[in-house]
Amino acid sequence: MKNIVFWDIATYNWLWLPLAKRFKDMNRRCKIYFICSTKQRVNFRQAEDEDGIINRFLTTNHFFREYDNAHGSCEEIISKARAYEKKYNMLISDALQADRHLGVGFFPGGIKHPKSQLSEKADYIKSVVIFNKIVEFWEKYLDETRPDLIIGATAGIIGKICSVVAKKRNIPIRALVSARYQSYFYWATNEFYSVPDIQRRFETMTSYENIISPDELSGLKRLPWSDKNYKKYIKYKSGFFLVSQIFKHVKRHISKRMKRVITMGNYIFSEDIKYSWRIHTAMKTVDSLKTVNSEDLTGLSFVVYPLHTEPEAAMGMLSPEFNEQLAIIELLAKNLPAGTFLAVKEHLGALGRRPSDFYFTLKKIPNVVLLHPCDYLLEFAKKSRAVAVITSTIGTEAAILGIPVISFGLHNNFNFLPHVHYVKSWIELRPLLHKLCVSEDSNEEKKIRCENGKRYLAALKSVSVDLSWSNYSACKRMPATQKEVDVLYSSLVKSLGFDE
């Protein structure tokens, strides 16, 4: 490979430069390009890059200042946007949904997400103009760099458009993402985190006993990142922790102002303070709500639905076709047979973003019961008739355990499984829910589901790498070790169909 583009995604700060060095070691003529959000990130990378691995940097935050520059007639602007929509098979609304600043209005369940300077000045025609500008920008950039590979797929309108323009040009994309199973990760092939090889391996696999240990599925627990976030949000009940978070916001905003850091969204200082306070009060609100526990649901027929954080990539980026959570809850509740409940669990990351009457609205639905946000949802899923998801981790875990899944997300990697029911129309829901909640499965049917779940897990593990031995989830850590680079580089080139 001659030209490789890296998205400087902060989650994997420790990996990108060592991985880029490996590509350079394999081919000294290889050119490495880094896409950074700000000039400050470029400075950080340049200071870190003592060996001169990176050939060229690009920053994307200039679009924040360009947002107000809308030139041309409305007719010309819309005409150009429609031409791009047709060319790239993407609506402008798809790009806006991927952006928590410009697309926050698409997510009424997260309308209290902190306001930013960009979200406050957002205007439809200006958003169409910036859509056109970003398309033109990436067309020009990809013409100049001619990448053989783009590593990373980031959310937001800038990242979304980059992905679709690259896809049109048949430029491969590989994004390192969680496989949503313990500490396994895989290299996804697009912004939807798709991995076509999972289905191919599932269909050709003849045995999985050597891949899955007999007691493996009995020891499932919260994913490391999820567990870390769980512990963080629990602390928000403490007034002392609230004050410490507010102090961090103050320090960060002062630092950004002194360094003149401009990001695409530019969150408003007072909004970050209010958001911390809303999380604190929301934790107390959900504690006061009447929720049910696992024992309350014992012997009852129920379907589980995990609420997603919104606005967030898990919905706007991974499932732009359908992500209306309140509509999904209503559709499920209105089509459940008599005696079946819908158990809804809030996501801890959504606390402080919901409308003020959100939980009370849910509680008014006659056959809806609320689970506490701190509950471990998998324990409820095991007793349920089915799990309904858009893109949630619990969908992957339920598919693995042979629990029926109702999938509203078009791009879920488990949609092909026989016990996963992808919903294409609301008309399908009533007969589907009746089948899942009223009809009793035979032992043979349950066995087939479990066998398919294990086979799916084996296929998933075969395209993934287990990083349980690595401290990948640490907030601050040293650059990737030689072993980490070896393992992740090897899996990356294999995902591209090459031998190392």
Check whether residue 272 and residue 308 sit in a common domain: no
Is the CB of residue 303 less than 8 Å from the CB of residue 437?
yes
Check whether residue 252 and residue 398 sit in a common domain: no
pLDDT, tens digit, 9 for 90 and up, residues 418-454: 999 999 999 999 999 999 999 888 899 999 999 999 9
What is the CATH classification number for the domain harbouring 293? 3.40.50.2000
- Classify residue 30 as exposed, middle or buried by CB count within 10 Å of its CB (0-12, 13-18, 19+): middle
State the sign of the Cα–Cα–Cα–Cα dihedral 449, 223, 382, 410: negative
Q: How far apart are CA 174 and CA 152, in angstroms?
A: 6
With respect to residue 339, please indicate whether it lies within any of the assigned structural domains: yes
Q: How far apart are CA 253 and CA 116, in angstroms?
A: 13
Percent of the chain with pLDDT over 90: 82
Q: Which DSSP string corresponds to 263-282?
A: -SS-B-HHHHHHHHHHHHHH
pLDDT, tens digit, 9 for 90 and up, residues 395-416: 999 999 999 999 999 999 999 9
Check whether residue 81 and residue 136 sit in a common domain: yes
Chain mean position to CA 56: 28
Check whether residue 477 and residue 450 sit in a common domain: no
Q: Please state whether beta strands 3-7 and 31-36 pair in parallel, antiparallel, or not at all (unpaired).
A: parallel
Total domains, the chain? 3
159 closest CA partner among 317, 358, 373: 317
Check whether residue 243 and residue 206 sit in a common domain: no
Among 287, 303, 320, the domain-final residue is 287
Is the CB of residue 20 less than 8 Å from the CB of residue 53?
yes
| DSSP summary character for residue 207 | -
With respect to residue 105, please indicate whether it lies within any of the assigned structural domains: yes
The CB-based long-range contact list for 424-428 (8 Å cut-off, 24+ gap) reads 426/331
With respect to residue 9, please indicate whether it lies within any of the assigned structural domains: no
Check whether residue 471 and residue 452 sit in a common domain: no
pLDDT tens, per residue, the chain with 500 residues: 899 999 999 889 999 999 999 999 999 899 999 999 999 999 999 999 999 999 999 999 999 999 988 788 999 999 999 999 999 999 999 999 999 999 999 999 999 999 999 999 999 999 999 999 999 999 999 999 999 999 999 999 999 999 999 999 999 999 999 999 999 999 999 999 999 999 999 999 888 888 988 788 888 888 877 777 778 888 888 899 999 999 999 999 999 989 888 888 889 999 999 999 999 999 888 888 889 998 999 999 999 999 999 999 899 999 999 999 999 999 999 999 999 999 999 999 999 999 989 999 999 999 999 999 989 999 999 999 999 999 999 999 999 999 999 999 999 999 999 999 999 999 999 999 999 999 888 899 999 999 999 999 999 999 999 999 998 888 788 999 999 999 999 999 999 998 65
Q: Note down the domain range covering 105.
A: 63-212+466-495
Check whether residue 356 and residue 335 sit in a common domain: yes
Chain mean position to CA 400: 19
Check whether residue 312 and residue 323 sit in a common domain: yes
Provide the angle, in degrees to the nearest 10, between the axes of the packed helices 156-168 and 124-145: 50
Check whether residue 336 and residue 357 sit in a common domain: yes
With respect to residue 33, please indicate whether it lies within any of the assigned structural domains: no
